[in-house]
Amino acid sequence: MGRISRRFALLGAGVVAGMTLLTGVAGADAPAWTTISTQFTSPLFGLAAAPDNQLVVADAGAGITRLRLSNGATSVITPLSGVTDTALLPSGDMYATTSGVFGTSGWKLWRVSGGKPTLLANLLEFETKNNPAGDDIDSDPFDLARTPSKVYVADAAANDVLVYDGKLDWVAMIPQHNVPTTPIKRAAGCPNGPADICGLPERLDADPVPTSAAIGPDGALYVGELTGFPASPEQSRIWKIDPAARHVVCGASPQCVQVKGGFTSVIDLIFGPDGKAYVLELDENSWLAAENGFGRGGTVNVCTLPSWTCTVRNSGLPFPTALAFREGKLYSTLLSVIPGQAQVALLH
């Protein structure tokens, strides 16, 4: 179960789950989004605003992809297999991560210039040598956040946050936390369900699975969790990390503190032009529920800092994985793991 929780197992059954969500949402009132393009290979992960009314899409199946918002046309910038996120630089270059879980380029951090990728760091190699979490050797670089001089990587499988500023180091390790197993037992029909589920203890240590990283308006680094098996709802946390921190354990160091809990399966976190945090939950019932076809859809929460008072902006989103603002408008990936239906949409 450990590897499943860190390896984002929902993708293994993503087609079935996505189709369940599609039929459930489309049959209701008109959905609160407008599809911009479905011209992707999938799975889709990161989104980033780009000049000239464009977005950059991390399409793990095709590579780093340019999306023109004016007409929905797409073109591959570089065929970087397994790309999970990008972070654009003013020069037009960008950082990118790839995961060997989703493609053939390995678990790596790249700099892309003129469409050509240059390797900066082998993240699985770093994990093998250092293993900050002291857990099974594993890596799944999932999200990026950058400042003018450095780039941060949220490694979902290693349960840590890395930094590259000319060399690779680790910033913070996010520990497991003890969560209730009642939701998964209820969903499995216990006590008459599968013995391996019904026999679980009342509480279980879950991996954090950091899937999102963003620089806040205060200059701090914020990281959100998916939360691994048993994927209990309302257990995902948001952490605030001092950008100068190195080798700290979140929750045990004043340089990495929890600022908000109670989310379910956080898959992205960005800050809007209004200075507010936009927290994307993959599914209100959890990623495990979505994987098994009984999800309710994803949610965008808008949170005011520093109180982290949150309200729901959008709900019922089918399989979203990323958010981005462009000219004050909010865009999201939807149906992100379904070939032919994976899309980028404008959220209303």
pLDDT for the residue numbered 16: 39
pLDDT of 4 reads 34
DSSP 24: H
Residue 109 lies in a domain: yes
- Supply the DSSP string of 113-146, one letter for each residue: ETTEEEEEEEHHHHHHHH-TT-SSS---EEEEEE
Distance CA 34, CA 325 (A): 15
348 belongs to a structural domain: no
Q: What is the mean pLDDT of the chain?
A: 91
Average pLDDT over residues 138-154: 97
Is 177 inside a domain boundary?
yes
User: How is 255-307 classified by DSSP, letter by letter?
Assistant: TEEEEEEEESSEEEEEE-TTS-EEEEES-TT-HHHHHTT----EEEEEEETTT
* For residue 306, cis peptide bond before it (omega within 30 degrees of 0): yes
Residues whose CB is less than 8 angstroms from the CB of residue 169 and which lie 6 or more positions away in sequence, other chains included: 162, 163, 246, 247
Residue 143: pLDDT over 90: yes
pLDDT one-digit tens code per residue, 247-276: 999 999 999 999 999 999 999 999 999 999
| DSSP codes joined into one string, 60-86 | TTTEEEEEETTT--EEEEE--TTEEEE
Number of independent structural domains in the chain: 1
**Is 218 a member of any domain?**
yes
Is residue 306 a part of any domain in this protein? no
pLDDT in tens, 6-55: 444 444 344 334 444 443 343 345 569 999 999 999 999 999 999 999 99
Quickly state the pLDDT bin for 209 (edges 50, 70, 90).
Answer: very high
In a domain, 330, yes or no: no
SS3 content of the chain, % helix, strand, coil (to 5): 15, 45, 45
Please indicate, yes or no, if residue 321 is contained in any of the structural domains.
no
Domain with 108 in it = 2-13+48-293
Question: Which CATH number do you get for residue 197?
Answer: 2.120.10.30
The count of other CB atoms within 10 Å of the CB of residue 175 is 14
Q: Is residue 8 part of a domain?
A: yes
DSSP state of 93: -
Structure tokens at 89: 């630089």
pTM above 0.85, yes or no: yes
